[in-house]
Chains A and B, each alone.
Chain A
Amino acid sequence: MSSSHHEDAQAMAATEQAMQIAFLQDFYQTVRDKCFDKCVTKPSSSLSSSEQQCLARCCDRYAEATQIVTKAVLDMSGLE
Chain B
Amino acid sequence: MSQAAAPPVLCDTPPVLCVAPSRALVDEKIAVLVENLPPGSLVTVRSLHHSDDQDDWEAYAHYVSDHRGVVSVSEDMSFGGTYSGVEPMGLLWSLRPVPGSRTGLRLRKKNVCTPLLFHISVHGGHEGFRERPPLASALIERWYVAPGVQRIDVRERGVRGTLFLPPGPGPFPGVLDMWGGGGGLHEYRAALLACHGYVALALEYFKPGELKSTDLEYSYFETAFNLIQEHPRVMADRVGILGLSLGSSLALSLAAESKTVQPRACICIGSNHCSGRSLSGSPMVLITNPEGMRVDENNHHIWRDMALSILEDESKLVDVGKISCPLMVVNGADDQNWPSTEMADDITRRMRAAGKEHLLTRLEYPDAGHLIEPPFSPHFRATNFMVQGRQKVILLWGGQTKPHSDAQEDSWRKILSFLQQHLYGNQCPKAKL
**Chain A partners chain B:** no
**Chain A residues within CB distance 8 Å of chain B:** none
